[in-house]
């Protein structure tokens, strides 16, 4: 998965978790939870949705890597052989 595909996946799963959230409103280094007003359950649902979409377990220790748009894209790309 390349960076564009990873961003699209992140946007798609985010829309399922928080339909009113727009990834375009978040800077690359901003924390998703703060920028989009996601609570911890929303963030957990986002991580679970991403994990299920790529078919790879995302351990809790890796959650901080998914906290920003840039970090999530890099993580998803690396875990799917694109990074």
pLDDT tens per residue across span 67-76: 999 999 999 9
Res 83: pLDDT: 59
**Do residues 69 and 27 touch, judged by C-beta distance below 8 A?**
yes
pTM equals 0.91
Give the architecture-level CATH label for domain 3-79: Orthogonal Bundle (1.10)
pLDDT tens per residue across span 6-33: 999 999 999 999 999 999 989 988 999 9
Mean model confidence pLDDT for the chain: 94
Of 11, 31, 30, 29, which Cα lies nearest the Cα of 21?
Answer: 11
């Amino acid at each position: 998965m390349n960076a564009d595909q990873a961003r699209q996946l992140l946007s798609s799963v985010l829309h399922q978790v928080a339909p009113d959230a727009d990834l375009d409103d978040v800077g690359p280094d901003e924390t998703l939870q703060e920028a989009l007003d996601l609570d911890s359950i929303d963030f957990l649902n986002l991580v679970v949705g991403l994990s299920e979409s790529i078919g790879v377990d995302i351990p809790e220790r890796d959650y901080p890597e998914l906290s920003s748009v840039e970090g999530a894209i890099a993580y998803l790309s690396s875990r799917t052989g694109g990074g």
